Amino acid sequence: MAYWYNVDTQQVEQDGETDPKGNLMGPYNSEAEARAALETSKQKNDAWDDEDREWNEGGRA
């Protein structure tokens, strides 16, 4: 079963119970992963920003 994080309601939803109009993040393998969706997204975005910055500076960290 997949889990989703609904950004609008800030609730975890399961397959078959998702709000069709909701802004969903996922799917995730567990409820815990879905609950951590925003933090996981922030960590990934920060890492990508660091990679972009390094790329734009010509590989200099």
Provide the residue-wise pLDDT of the chain in tens; the chain has 61 residues: 999 999 999 999 999 888 887 799 999 999 999 999 999 999 999 999 999 999 999 865 5
The b/e string for 16-33 (b: 16+ C-beta within 10 A; e otherwise) is eebeeeeebbbebeeeee
25 lies in which domain range?
3-56
Q: Residue 59: its pLDDT value, please? A: 65
Task: Assess if residue 61 is contained within a domain.
Answer: no
Task: Assess if residue 23 is contained within a domain.
Answer: yes
Give how many domains the chain has, as a whole number: 1
Task: Assess if residue 52 is contained within a domain.
Answer: yes
